[in-house]
Amino acid sequence: MTHAAEMEPADPPISITKELAEEFFTSLNQQHFEGKLPACRIEVSARLVRTAGKIWPRTRLIRLSRSYHELYGPAELSNTILHEMIHLWLFEQNLPSGHTPLFRQKLQEVGLDNRMKALPVPPRPYRYLYRCPTCRYEVQTRRKINSSCGHCDRVYNPRHRFRLVKQLTES
């Protein structure tokens, strides 16, 4: 396997699977940690959308964002797994496992330099358009709402309850 920072996305893009993530974990463990990190349970989540990945070192669980990695490809999947493995490596040595100076040092050693944060995550699209029946003020939301217009009344008032005008995108 090539170094995580040198990996090229497949053409055409490949599906991001738990099995692929587990292969990356095993390979990166050998390459950067001499195979000494304990095995982790890996989940690829459709619900994790605001970050690339997350680790729970006590329970040895790594959760990865399916949408993020489908957008950026397997090279970024490898980078994310390696980032989470550094958190695990620190935890296994009974050291603070946050983004500490030692974490940053290890990032540089493995070739991720200052990749402390994920690449930009595109905003989720709005799904619903609501309108106040009184003042015609419109609001776009990502979830269905049951609220009233704050322009017409400072507290909830059913006379000014937002009405669904249309669904903007499919769920």
Q: What digits encode the pLDDT tens for the residues 45-87?
A: 989 888 899 999 999 999 999 989 988 899 999 999 999 999 9
In a domain, 32, yes or no: yes
pLDDT score, position 129: 97
- The pLDDT tens digits for 94-146 are 999 999 999 999 999 999 987 777 788 777 889 999 999 999 999 999 999 99
Q: Which two tokens stand for residue 65?
A: 């964002």
pLDDT band at 11 (very low <50, low <70, confident <90, very high): low
What confidence score (pLDDT) does residue 10 get?
43
Strand boundaries in the chain, DSSP class E: 41-45, 53-56, 61-65, 128-131, 138-141, 163-167
Count of the separate structural domains present in the chain? 2
Please report the sign of the dihedral spanned by the C-alpha atoms of residue 149, residue 152, residue 156, residue 157: negative
Residues 46 and 76 in one domain: yes
Backbone angles phi, psi at 16, to 5 degrees: -85, 115
Q: What would the mean pLDDT of 6-35 be, rounded to a whole number?
A: 81
Same domain? 83 vs 18: yes
Report the first-to-last Cα separation within the chain, whole angstroms: 38
Cα–Cα distance, 149 to 163 (Å, whole number):
10
Read off the tokens for 56: 């729970």
Domain end among 63, 80, 109? 109
- Pair (42, 9) in one structural domain: yes
Cα–Cα distance, 146 to 85 (Å, whole number):
42
pLDDT at position 36 is 96
pLDDT at 122: 75
The answer on 135 and 94 residing in a single domain is no
**Confidence band for 37, pLDDT divided at 50, 70 and 90:** very high
pLDDT at 7: 40
The answer to whether the bond into 96 is cis (omega within 30° of 0) is no
pLDDT confidence tier of residue 171, bands split at 50, 70 and 90: low
pLDDT at 123: 79
Q: Say if pTM beats, i.e. exceeds, 0.75.
A: no
If you average pLDDT over residues 14-26, what whole number do you get? 92
Domain match, 29 and 61 both: yes
Residues 134 and 65 in one domain: no
Q: Is there a domain that residue 115 lies in?
A: no
